[in-house]
Amino acid sequence: MWHVRVCGVPHDEGLLRWCTVSPRGWRKEQNMPQSPKRGFSRLPGFPGRDDKELQPFMDVVARLPREKADELARSFLRAALGWERSGDPAHLTGLAEDTLFTMRLRSDPRCKDEFENEQPPRPVPAG
């Protein structure tokens, strides 16, 4: 059995108390049933940190300008929130498919120069 502390209150397996804090500072606590969870790195098929296919993708991420890396993180978080709010796993699988396609394209040596010389987007005129 595992225990977790959320909002400063210990909870047993199977029930977590989630807290949200509004901009005004009030807290809303909500009980949410949970099944026992194992870390996502223990899921079957989950690649290790040293997976041979992962390193070229990490090299792509390291070369991204800060604004593109931020957009990558924003997309990940939007997909996670979309799944949490709707329960539709298509938010996660769609992001996974799009991310793998983009990373494979950007890590292909034949395409590398195309992305390295990318121009920043032009501002859209107001109007």
Average pLDDT over residues 81-97: 94
Predicted model pTM: 0.60
More confident residue, 74 or 4: 74
- In degrees, rounded to 5, the angle at the alpha carbon of residue 126 between the alpha carbons of residues 119 and 82 is 75
pLDDT over threshold 70, residue 120: no
* Contacts (Cβ under 8 Å, ≥6 apart) of 12: 1, 3
pLDDT in tens, 27-69: 444 455 555 566 778 888 889 999 999 999 999 999 999 999 9
pLDDT, position 40: 73
